[in-house]
Amino acid sequence: MRTFHVLPLLAAVVTVFAGPAIAVENNNQAKAATKVSMRSESAQPHFKPTGKPVSAARGEAIFLDHCALCHGIRGKGDGPRSAYFVQGGQYIPDMTVAQVLAGRDKELIENIREGLNRLPEPSYVMPAFKYILSDEEIRSVLAYVKTFPSQSRKK
Ligand code: HEC
Protein backbone atom coordinates (compact mmCIF):
# COMPACT_ATOMS: atom_id res chain seq x y z
CA MET A 1 0.00 0.00 0.00
CA ARG A 2 2.81 2.41 0.88
CA THR A 3 4.37 2.30 -2.57
CA PHE A 4 1.16 3.83 -3.99
CA HIS A 5 1.74 6.91 -1.89
CA VAL A 6 5.39 7.15 -2.80
CA LEU A 7 4.86 6.97 -6.57
CA PRO A 8 3.06 10.33 -7.05
CA LEU A 9 5.66 11.93 -4.80
CA LEU A 10 8.43 10.49 -6.94
CA ALA A 11 6.71 11.77 -10.07
CA ALA A 12 6.43 15.23 -8.54
CA VAL A 13 10.12 15.28 -7.59
CA VAL A 14 11.15 14.22 -11.09
CA THR A 15 8.95 16.94 -12.64
CA VAL A 16 10.35 19.64 -10.36
CA PHE A 17 13.96 18.77 -11.15
CA ALA A 18 13.64 17.82 -14.82
CA GLY A 19 11.18 20.63 -15.72
CA PRO A 20 13.66 23.53 -15.75
CA ALA A 21 16.25 21.43 -17.61
CA ILE A 22 13.71 20.73 -20.35
CA ALA A 23 12.73 24.41 -20.45
CA VAL A 24 16.39 25.47 -20.84
CA GLU A 25 16.83 22.89 -23.58
CA ASN A 26 13.77 24.22 -25.46
CA ASN A 27 14.98 27.78 -25.01
CA ASN A 28 18.40 26.88 -26.44
CA GLN A 29 16.76 25.21 -29.39
CA ALA A 30 14.64 28.31 -29.98
CA LYS A 31 17.75 30.52 -29.85
CA ALA A 32 19.62 28.26 -32.24
CA ALA A 33 16.66 28.35 -34.63
CA THR A 34 16.61 32.18 -34.60
CA LYS A 35 20.34 32.32 -35.33
CA VAL A 36 20.07 29.89 -38.21
CA SER A 37 17.23 31.74 -39.92
CA MET A 38 18.85 35.19 -39.48
CA ARG A 39 22.47 34.33 -40.20
CA SER A 40 22.30 31.30 -42.45
CA GLU A 41 24.72 31.51 -45.37
CA SER A 42 22.20 29.58 -47.44
CA ALA A 43 19.48 32.25 -47.07
CA GLN A 44 18.66 33.68 -50.48
CA PRO A 45 17.18 37.06 -51.37
CA HIS A 46 13.41 36.92 -51.88
CA PHE A 47 13.21 39.92 -54.18
CA LYS A 48 13.94 40.75 -57.76
CA PRO A 49 15.61 44.08 -58.51
CA THR A 50 12.78 46.52 -59.22
CA GLY A 51 14.69 48.62 -61.75
CA LYS A 52 12.79 51.65 -60.46
CA PRO A 53 14.34 54.95 -59.32
CA VAL A 54 14.70 55.64 -55.59
CA SER A 55 11.55 57.39 -54.35
CA ALA A 56 10.36 58.47 -50.92
CA ALA A 57 6.75 57.97 -52.08
CA ARG A 58 7.42 54.28 -52.77
CA GLY A 59 9.37 54.18 -49.54
CA GLU A 60 6.20 55.07 -47.61
CA ALA A 61 4.45 51.86 -48.73
CA ILE A 62 7.56 49.83 -47.85
CA PHE A 63 7.74 51.49 -44.43
CA LEU A 64 4.09 50.71 -43.66
CA ASP A 65 4.60 47.08 -44.74
CA HIS A 66 7.87 46.32 -42.99
CA CYS A 67 8.84 48.95 -40.44
CA ALA A 68 5.79 50.63 -38.85
CA LEU A 69 5.13 47.54 -36.75
CA CYS A 70 8.08 48.52 -34.54
CA HIS A 71 8.84 52.11 -35.47
CA GLY A 72 5.24 53.42 -35.54
CA ILE A 73 3.55 54.99 -38.57
CA ARG A 74 5.18 58.37 -37.81
CA GLY A 75 8.57 56.90 -36.86
CA LYS A 76 8.34 57.83 -33.18
CA GLY A 77 9.30 54.31 -32.06
CA ASP A 78 5.78 53.59 -30.82
CA GLY A 79 4.58 50.85 -33.19
CA PRO A 80 2.40 48.08 -31.72
CA ARG A 81 5.38 45.73 -31.48
CA SER A 82 7.26 48.23 -29.28
CA ALA A 83 4.87 47.34 -26.45
CA TYR A 84 6.88 44.13 -26.07
CA PHE A 85 10.19 45.94 -25.74
CA VAL A 86 11.77 45.73 -22.30
CA GLN A 87 11.11 49.00 -20.48
CA GLY A 88 14.39 50.86 -20.07
CA GLY A 89 16.23 47.91 -21.60
CA GLN A 90 15.42 48.61 -25.19
CA TYR A 91 16.53 51.39 -27.41
CA ILE A 92 14.27 52.18 -30.34
CA PRO A 93 15.08 55.49 -31.93
CA ASP A 94 12.65 58.40 -32.29
CA MET A 95 13.17 59.06 -35.99
CA THR A 96 11.24 62.34 -35.87
CA VAL A 97 14.38 63.81 -34.25
CA ALA A 98 16.51 65.05 -37.17
CA GLN A 99 19.85 64.49 -35.37
CA VAL A 100 19.16 60.73 -35.12
CA LEU A 101 19.34 60.37 -38.90
CA ALA A 102 21.36 63.34 -40.17
CA GLY A 103 24.54 62.71 -42.17
CA ARG A 104 24.59 58.94 -41.60
CA ASP A 105 23.07 57.61 -44.82
CA LYS A 106 25.79 55.05 -45.53
CA GLU A 107 25.66 53.65 -42.00
CA LEU A 108 21.85 53.65 -41.90
CA ILE A 109 21.59 51.76 -45.20
CA GLU A 110 24.08 49.22 -43.86
CA ASN A 111 22.09 48.87 -40.62
CA ILE A 112 18.80 48.35 -42.46
CA ARG A 113 20.49 45.81 -44.75
CA GLU A 114 22.27 43.85 -42.04
CA GLY A 115 20.01 44.47 -39.02
CA LEU A 116 21.10 46.02 -35.74
CA ASN A 117 21.45 44.84 -32.16
CA ARG A 118 23.38 47.29 -30.00
CA LEU A 119 22.03 45.80 -26.77
CA PRO A 120 22.50 42.22 -25.55
CA GLU A 121 19.60 39.76 -25.44
CA PRO A 122 16.78 39.70 -24.43
CA SER A 123 16.40 43.10 -26.06
CA TYR A 124 14.70 43.13 -29.46
CA VAL A 125 16.77 43.56 -32.54
CA MET A 126 16.22 45.35 -35.76
CA PRO A 127 15.97 42.53 -38.30
CA ALA A 128 18.12 42.34 -41.43
CA PHE A 129 16.23 43.34 -44.57
CA LYS A 130 18.78 42.29 -47.19
CA TYR A 131 16.87 39.13 -48.02
CA ILE A 132 13.51 40.78 -48.60
CA LEU A 133 14.22 44.33 -49.81
CA SER A 134 16.26 45.29 -52.86
CA ASP A 135 18.90 48.00 -52.72
CA GLU A 136 16.48 50.44 -54.37
CA GLU A 137 13.74 49.60 -51.83
CA ILE A 138 16.13 50.12 -48.91
CA ARG A 139 17.20 53.50 -50.32
CA SER A 140 13.56 54.45 -50.96
CA VAL A 141 12.46 53.54 -47.45
CA LEU A 142 15.39 55.51 -46.00
CA ALA A 143 14.40 58.51 -48.16
CA TYR A 144 10.91 58.26 -46.64
CA VAL A 145 12.20 57.80 -43.08
CA LYS A 146 14.19 61.00 -43.52
CA THR A 147 10.96 62.95 -44.10
CA PHE A 148 9.78 62.19 -40.51
CA PRO A 149 11.47 65.21 -38.85
CA SER A 150 9.82 67.68 -41.27
CA GLN A 151 6.46 65.80 -41.12
CA SER A 152 6.39 66.14 -37.33
CA ARG A 153 7.32 69.87 -37.51
CA LYS A 154 4.27 70.52 -39.71
CA LYS A 155 1.90 69.25 -37.01
C1 HEC B 1 11.26 44.14 -35.05
C2 HEC B 1 11.23 45.57 -34.89
C3 HEC B 1 11.80 46.43 -36.01
C4 HEC B 1 11.44 46.46 -37.34
C5 HEC B 1 10.41 45.60 -38.05
C6 HEC B 1 12.25 47.49 -37.94
N7 HEC B 1 13.07 48.07 -37.01
FE8 HEC B 1 14.37 49.59 -37.33
N9 HEC B 1 15.01 49.46 -35.42
C10 HEC B 1 14.49 48.59 -34.46
C11 HEC B 1 15.27 48.71 -33.24
C12 HEC B 1 15.04 47.93 -31.96
C13 HEC B 1 16.28 49.67 -33.51
C14 HEC B 1 17.39 50.11 -32.57
C15 HEC B 1 18.44 49.01 -32.60
C16 HEC B 1 19.70 49.32 -31.85
O17 HEC B 1 20.12 50.48 -31.83
O18 HEC B 1 20.26 48.35 -31.32
C19 HEC B 1 16.07 50.12 -34.89
C20 HEC B 1 16.83 51.10 -35.52
C21 HEC B 1 16.57 51.63 -36.75
C22 HEC B 1 17.25 52.76 -37.36
C23 HEC B 1 18.38 53.57 -36.72
C24 HEC B 1 19.68 52.90 -37.05
C25 HEC B 1 20.87 53.64 -36.56
O26 HEC B 1 21.97 53.30 -37.04
O27 HEC B 1 20.76 54.53 -35.73
C28 HEC B 1 16.71 52.97 -38.59
C29 HEC B 1 17.09 54.04 -39.62
C30 HEC B 1 15.69 51.97 -38.76
N31 HEC B 1 15.62 51.17 -37.65
C32 HEC B 1 14.92 51.82 -39.90
C33 HEC B 1 14.05 50.76 -40.13
C34 HEC B 1 13.41 50.51 -41.40
C35 HEC B 1 13.57 51.38 -42.64
C36 HEC B 1 12.66 49.38 -41.24
C37 HEC B 1 11.80 48.67 -42.27
C38 HEC B 1 12.44 48.32 -43.52
C39 HEC B 1 12.81 48.94 -39.85
N40 HEC B 1 13.69 49.79 -39.22
C41 HEC B 1 12.18 47.85 -39.29
C42 HEC B 1 13.43 47.74 -34.61
C43 HEC B 1 12.82 47.45 -35.82
111 lines ligand 1 (CB under 6 A): yes
Distance CA 153, CA 22 (A): 52
Averaged pLDDT for residues 5-33? 57
69 lines ligand 1 (CB under 6 A): yes
Q: Is the CB of 126 under 6 A from ligand 1?
A: yes
Q: Is 80 in the pocket of ligand 1 (CB under 6 A)?
A: no
Tell me the CA distances in angstroms from 83 to 87, 107, 117, one per residue in order.
9, 27, 18
Q: By percentage, how much of the chain surpasses pLDDT 70?
A: 65
Ligand 1: centre distance to CA 36 (Å): 21
Rounded average pLDDT over 115-120 = 81
Tell me the pTM. 0.76
Return the best residue to mutate from 34, 47, 58, 70 for the ligand 1 pocket (most ligand atoms within 8 A of CB).
70
The answer, yes or no, to whether any atom of ligand 1 lies below 6 A from the CB of 146, is: no
pLDDT tens digits, residue range 71-88? 999 999 999 888 777 666
